[in-house]
Amino acid sequence: MPSSSRNSGYSASELSSMQRDAMERVREMQRRARQRIEETNRMVTESPTVPAPHRSMQQPANNNTTTHKPAATSRPAQPAPLQGILDRLNLDGDTVLILILLLLLMNDGSDQSLILALVWLLI
């Protein structure tokens, strides 16, 4: 097999020149990447600490001695009703998601192999 057909018609000197050009471009890209990283690191280390919020951004001072506080709720937070059902059925979030997806796909008349694959995931 001739070497010219193996090299797509380029001579050895042309291939060598293209390789040198490619290596130079790679070095230039690496240099630029390092430079950007150094600039970013410098900006992060030089950034000032977060200043305290300005007085106008804070809650306005109230001249009255009485303050209105929202009433605290005395009852504890209850879990969502659906969460209780899922706990009783011993279903986790992933299983519920697959079941809902199955329901939607079956109602839509989707591909049976997709539906079987989802059923397989449930097993």
Evaluate if residue 22 carries a pLDDT over 80.
Answer: yes
Q: Is residue 42 part of a domain?
A: yes
Q: What is the distance between the alpha carbons of residues 62 and 59, in angstroms, rounded to a whole number?
A: 9
pTM score, whole prediction? 0.33
The gap from C-alpha 46 to its chain's centroid, in whole angstroms, comes to 27
Structure confidence at residue 14 (pLDDT): 93
The confidence score (pLDDT) of residue 84 equals: 74
Please give the tally of structural domains in the chain. Answer: 2
- Given this model, what pLDDT does residue 17 score? 94
The residue with tokens 């090299």 is 7
The pair of three-digit structure tokens given for residue 25, joined into one six-digit string: 């471009």
Confidence at 1, pLDDT banded by 50, 70, 90? very low
With beta carbons less than 8 A apart as the criterion, state whether 122 and 98 touch.
Answer: yes
CA neighbor of 86 nearest in space, from 102, 97, 77, 75 = 97
Q: Which domain holds residue 119?
A: 82-123
Does residue 18 lie in a domain region? yes
